[in-house]
Amino acid sequence: MAFDRSKYIESFKAEVRDLLQETSAGLLQLEKNPHDRSLAELLMRKTHTIKGSATMMGYKRIVDLAHVMEDAFEKVLKENLSLSKEQVDLLFKCLDAIEPLLDDKVTWSDKGIEASSVSNLCEEVKNLFSHAPSQAPQAVPQPAQGSQGIEKEVVDVSQKSSALQSAVEESIRVDIDKLNRLMNLTGEMIVGKIRLNELVQSLNDKVEGNKELDENLGGLTKDFNMIKNNMDRLSKSLQDEVMKIRLVPVSYLFNHFSRAMRDLARTKGKEIRFEIHGEDTQIDKAIIDHMKDPIMHLLRNAVDHGIEMPQARQEKGKPIEGKITLSAYREGSRVVIEVADDGHGVNIDKVKERAVAQGFVAQERLSDMVDDQIYQILFAPGFTTTDEVSETSGRGVGLDVVRDHIAEYKGMVEVKSKPGLGTSFLLRLPLTLAIAESLLVAAGTDIFAIPIETVMETLRVDPSAIKTIETKEAITVKGHILPLVRLSDIFNLPRKGIFEKRFLPVVVVQSVEKRIGILVDELIGRQDIISKAIGDPLKNVSNISGATILGNGRVILILDIASVIRSAEGVVIKKPSAPPKALVKGKKKTVLLAEDVLSTAMLEKSILEAAGFSVVIARDGKEALDRANQESFDLIITDVLMPRMDGFDFVASLRKIPFYKEIPVMIVTTRETDEDKRRGLEVGADAYILKKDFTSEGLLETIERLLG
């Protein structure tokens, strides 16, 4: 009788992936150490297990592949064979073929892949292992240097394989959602505990100095305090333990690379010894899962551009075999992953030269820059040294992608290099994404959290030091101009008596290269928060990256600094000193505002409403046109760049509607070419205002003129 396999597919896939990785690691070791019978035995067992599981789940092609591999390993074991390079390559090819078979949904009936390629592969294995003369054990090529290191590695691995096995037996797979729920509940329990603490405290206050009451309660107060203290300890340990569940050893990812490095070195014709250190270092699975590409990029860079060709190394008197190390270690609350090579290092003079030539840095600034700052240029988007005919060519290509990727997981990249001795890239990552250290600030009546890694410093600014530069506010900090933005303006929040303060708190934040000062009403302090995603429909709301729940059970929002900086670059308007209230007489006039950037829309809306208009916001040209058809507006204000239908098309379509032939239309945009202005007036707009020249007075003046 057929059983419902679908329930087990996910765990089957995960299990086979683990087995493939273990087999791959084992095969690498067997190649280096052909005499290790226990390794061949282990490999035979692993492939046998793959075969067994795949049989149960009906993945016939996988069964075939695993079967021939198992036979091959059995032969190695029984006949004491040493694997030739071709044989190893072929076995790796089989392993590679299994992985996609797992993901291919059609594989269920084995139709999706070219069946012939699998059977060919199986035939190849059979042939190579029955006919090919096996290499005599003594003929196994032993690398001239570094053999000691390899032997050491083998010891490590045989230990690891037994450790691996016990780890498998003693662990179970848990759905990440279950883990998140467990964490949520732990958080809620702590909220409850805080309430309990408050109650116990108020009980203590009542009892203190009231002996009679204390006696009447018969020691109850003491018991309560004991239970409270016990709960404090328990909940703290519980939270710590739950956090730890998310952590996995980096070996989980690192083991993937040994295989890739072997292939890379072979194709590049370089002799490379690849070492892994600190594979037991623990880190959040959600982070390490996404580090595969950046680490691979850095490793590839090290092979391509770091390590010299064997001959060049020999000339320099270095060991012919280059060394690339991938290591992980804890550093305070962070985990550092380091990719180091002993190649020729970054040529700092070349970087400087190129940086100036390509306009990344002004020549006169170079002398002020320390080496670390120079290395940071390597990460600038578009920076390249490829058109040079030098050994360093290619260094830096795509590093901006690596940095951005690391930044996404709240990490930083650092480069260290010594000419002639090598380069290392250090990825500093948080231990877990679940807990984020944040700065809590208040704006208006709301509290927000700012991720600490984006905070450069906090300042207290004298209001008179705030200058206005090109319609934007700014202050001068250590000789540099720092643009200022009020959180309450970005979010359109009520201001809370901010001008009465003698000093205003400013949080200096940075994202990528951009740095701004955020003016807040109050700095509350640093706090570890558990960041939580906000689900649909608010997942993509601008300026907010998530939320957290404070000890009192209240939700506060976490600022998305990159998006706040972008918003700050938009329209910044000084509030009208006295909104011209009586602008509109008689019936309230209605304005249709087509603007896709919500913060801009809200700002314009608030100005218009303050002037006595009633405002309807449409988020693109299409929506605006629909609204215009349904209602009769007295004035239309539109942006140009919008999704679905742009402002020009919207105005053009609008003018075709009889009612809107004479209704005033204004375009408010960042597009300042004459071509655009001409086009705007051509399609029928009455006024064209640039966002950069935008002031509330200017807007209202124009409206007054248009409405006559």
Partner 1 sequence: MTEDSKKIIFEVDDLENDDEISLTAYMRVLVFFVGQEQYCVDIKDAKEVIKVEHVTHVPGVPNFVLGVMNLRGEVITLCDLCSFLTLDASERPKELWALVTDVLGAPMALLVDEVKGAIDIEERLIQPPLATLGTKMSQYTRGQAQVGGEILIFLDLKKILTCEEMEHLKKG
Q: Give the residue with the Cβ less far from partner 1, 227 or 533.
A: 533
- By beta-carbon proximity to partner 1, the closer residue of 167 and 234 is 234
Smallest distance, partner 1 to C-beta of residue 443, A: 9
The owner of tokens 């380091």 is 338
Closest approach, Cβ 551 to partner 1, in A, equals 12
Beta-ladder partners of 507: 458, 518
At closest approach, how far in Å is the CB of 537 from partner 1?
A: 5
CA 404 from chain centre, in angstroms, equals 8
Smallest separation, CB 485 to partner 1 (Å): 14
- Choice between 187 and 422, CB closer to partner 1: 187
CB of 433 to partner 1, least distance (A): 16
Q: Smaller CB distance to partner 1: residue 454 or 543?
A: 543
Report the 3 state secondary structure along 372-412.
HHHHHHCCCCCCCCCCCCCCCCCCCCCHHHHHHHHHHCCCE
One-letter amino acid at 417 equals: S
Nearest to partner 1 of 320, 534 (CB atom): 534
Say how far apart CA 633 and CA 627 lie, in whole Å.
9
Q: Which is nearer to partner 1, 186 or 458 (CB)?
A: 186
Least distance in Å: CB of 214 to partner 1? 34
Compute φ and ψ for 425, nearest 5 degrees: -105, 130
State both tokens at 316. Answer: 């320099």
Beta strands in 580-638 (DSSP E): 590-594, 614-618, 635-638
Nearer to partner 1, 155 or 541 (CB): 541
Exposure letters 663-678 (e unless 16+ CB within 10 A, then b): bbbbbbbbbeeeebbe
Residue 698 CB, nearest approach to partner 1 (Å): 24
Rounded Cα–Cα distance for residues 68 and 47 (Å):
9
- Counting every residue written for the chain, the total comes to 708
Closest CB 615 distance from partner 1, rounded Å: 12
As a whole number of angstroms, the distance between CA 450 and CA 456 comes to: 11
Contact 303, 324 (CB under 8 A): yes
Question: What's CA 125's distance to the chain center, in Å?
Answer: 42
Transcribe 149-218 into DSSP letters. Answer: HHHHHHHHHHHHHHHHHHHHHT-----HHHHHHHHHHHHHHHHHHHHHHHHHHHHHHHHTT-HHHHHHHT
The DSSP string of 550-588 is -TTS-EEEEE-HHHHHHHHHS---PPPSS--GGGS-SSP
**Residue 14: CB minimum distance to partner 1, A:** 23
Q: How far apart are CA 530 and CA 203, in angstroms?
A: 31
* Alpha-helical segments (H) within 104-146: 115-130
Q: Round to whole Å and give the CA distance between 495 and 519.
A: 11
Report in angstroms how near the CB of residue 6 gets to partner 1 at its nearest: 20
Q: Round to the nearest angstrom and report the end-to-end CA distance of the chain.
A: 84
d(CA 180, CA 131): 55
> Residue 441 phi/psi, 5° resolution?
-130, 155
In the bound state with partner 1, the residue whose beta carbon lies nearer, of 203 and 242, is: 242
d(CA 8, CA 108): 13
Nearer residue to partner 1 within complex by CB, 77 or 524: 524
Q: How far is the CB of 189 from partner 1 (least distance, A)?
A: 9
Q: Which is nearer to partner 1, 598 or 645 (CB)?
A: 598
Residue with Cβ nearer partner 1 (209 or 537): 537
By beta-carbon proximity to partner 1, the closer residue of 194 and 534 is 534
Contacts of 247 (CB under 8 A, 6+ apart): 282, 283, 284, 285, 431, 432
Sign (positive or negative) of CA dihedral 5, 7, 11, 14: positive
Q: Which is nearer to partner 1, 444 or 684 (CB)?
A: 444
Q: Which is nearer to partner 1, 238 or 493 (CB)?
A: 493
Q: 134 in the Ramachandran plot: left (φ > 0), alpha (ψ -120 to 50) or beta?
A: beta
Nearer to partner 1, 311 or 630 (CB): 630
Q: How far is the CB of 474 from partner 1 (least distance, A)?
A: 23
> Nearest to residue 654, comparing CAs of 631, 617, 628, 616?
628
- Smallest separation (angstroms) from partner 1 to the CB of 142: 58
Output the smallest distance, CB 373 to partner 1, in A. Answer: 35
Angle at alpha carbon of residue 55, lines to 53 and 61, rounded to 5°: 110
Nearest-approach distance from CB 190 to partner 1, in angstroms: 10
**Residues near partner 1 (CB under 8 A):** 181, 183-188, 446, 490-493, 532-544, 546-549, 553-557, 598-599, 602, 619, 623
**Torsion, CA 429, CA 257, CA 146, CA 414, rounded to 10:** -30
Shorter beta-carbon distance to partner 1: residue 420 or 643: 643
Nearest-approach distance from CB 309 to partner 1, in angstroms = 50
